Amino acid sequence: MEARYRHRRDKGDVSSLVSEELFKTIFLHKDDSVCPANGFYPYQAFIEATRMFPKFGRTGCLATRKREIAAFLAQISHETTGGWATAPDGPFAWGLCFKEEISPQSNYCDESDQQWPCYPGKSYKGRGPIQLSWNFNYGLAGEALGFDGLRNPEIVAEDSAIAFQTALWFWMTERNPKPSCHDVMVGRYVPTKADIQANRTAGYGLVTNIINGGLECGIPDDARVNDRIGFFKRYAQLFNVDTGPNLDCQNQKSF
């Protein structure tokens, strides 16, 4: 077993790039008592989830691999941040502080989606590292990962392994007309004519567009976008890699 583990690691296992020590440095305060998700996001659950997606953090040169991991961790940090401007160690040391959305504005049920109908009494609010939301995302993620996302969406905030898996599923999955976040960060994004007209250029800003462009992109100096960038800059430095171009999406149209 140990020899097999070493072999997998030698072949580019994400744990070879993200040690437990580095993980703790990135998420300095995730297990503080003031964070509602304290204890819910252990290092091992993250590493095991990455092994379900063999291309994540294992595509391209070493710098590309590090940059993708840093970008993923930065985006999930923004989605779950407990930081504030004068927070201890700065606002970008407080990722993974939440595991479910606080005071959701609705149950996030798109009743027009007949393929993934909402189950009575269930809320599809944001849960997990990527804050998975809406019935169609829960349905698709559950189908891909082997859980009943429509009848049991709560499991994303109850099972650490499934929580990380949903975040990586979202990151790795292309949803036409949106490319996958993975393809963007590893240089496999090929813009369509519509993308070019919408100024959707490759880079971290396009990943933000994929995740929440309808609310955050096309807006000059948006605070939410800047927060995502702040996390990415800190993590890229910890990984000793540059961030690459096009960090924001203020000049991009949303998908």
Tokens of 35: 């964070």
Rounded CA separation 127/163 (Å) = 8
- List of residues 6+ apart from 7 with CB closer than 8 A: none
Catalytic pick from 79, 100, 101, 216? 79
- List of residues 6+ apart from 184 with CB closer than 8 A: 202, 203, 206, 207, 210
Identify the residue whose tokens are 């996958």.
180
Instruction: Please give the helix or strand (H or E) that residue 195 lies within, else none.
Output: helix 193-197
- List of residues 6+ apart from 47 with CB closer than 8 A: 13, 14, 15, 18
User: Is 79 labeled as catalytic in the residue annotation?
Assistant: yes
Contact 90, 74 (CB under 8 A): no
Write down how long the chain is: 255
- List of residues 6+ apart from 63 with CB closer than 8 A: 241, 242
Rounded CA separation 39/32 (Å) = 9
Among residues 211, 214, 200, the alpha carbon closest in space to that of 251 is found at 200
Q: Which positions are catalytic? A: 79
